[in-house]
Amino acid sequence: MLELPDSIRFFLDESLTPGVADALLLVGYPITSADQQCKRGVKDPLLIPWLAAEDYVWITKDDEARREHLGDIIKAKISTVWIMGIDRKKNKISPLEVHLMLTTKLRRIAIAVDRARGPVHFEIYLKGEDTPVLSPLDLVTLKRKQTSKQRRLGRRRRPH
């Protein structure tokens, strides 16, 4: 039987197939989905504080959330897992492969979240055909880079 920290719970975003959460729940993972929690259609600025209040680790593929709501994620102090590769035109990742990645890496993520003194963030993707890779993310550094890039773009757009 899997040994997972009791305090860790996962929330599968509506951007991912809810059946993945159903299958993981059946084999003992503490996971729910946007569908199960009646959160389908809830916009990220409302979802993020709810996730924090409920103490969920957010599993998503939503790159827009990372671009548009990074500050909210940092402020809410939620842990996140971004599934990469689903929106590729070629070699698109299927729900079965998402299930494979999460089955392989959720235990490690749960332990990392449990041991951390604050939120932790990851990307997970497939290397080759079937090797899940879990990579840590530093959102504060990512936010600084985004802010710096926005400033540079703003300077370029100003008329002289």
Q: What is the pLDDT of residues 112-134, one digit of tens each?
A: 999 999 999 999 998 887 899 99
Query: Comparing 114 with 143, which gets the higher pLDDT?
Result: 114
Supply the pTM of this predicted model.
0.85
Listed by start position, the domains of the chain span 9-157
Pairing of the two strands 131-137 and 121-127: antiparallel
pLDDT at 72: 93
Q: Residue 138 in 3-state DSSP? A: coil
Residue 22: partners with Cβ closer than 8 Å, 6 or more residues away: 33
CATH of segment(s) 9-157 = 3.40.50
- Is 80 exceeded by the pLDDT of residue 1? no
- Split at pLDDT 50, 70, 90, the class of 159 is low
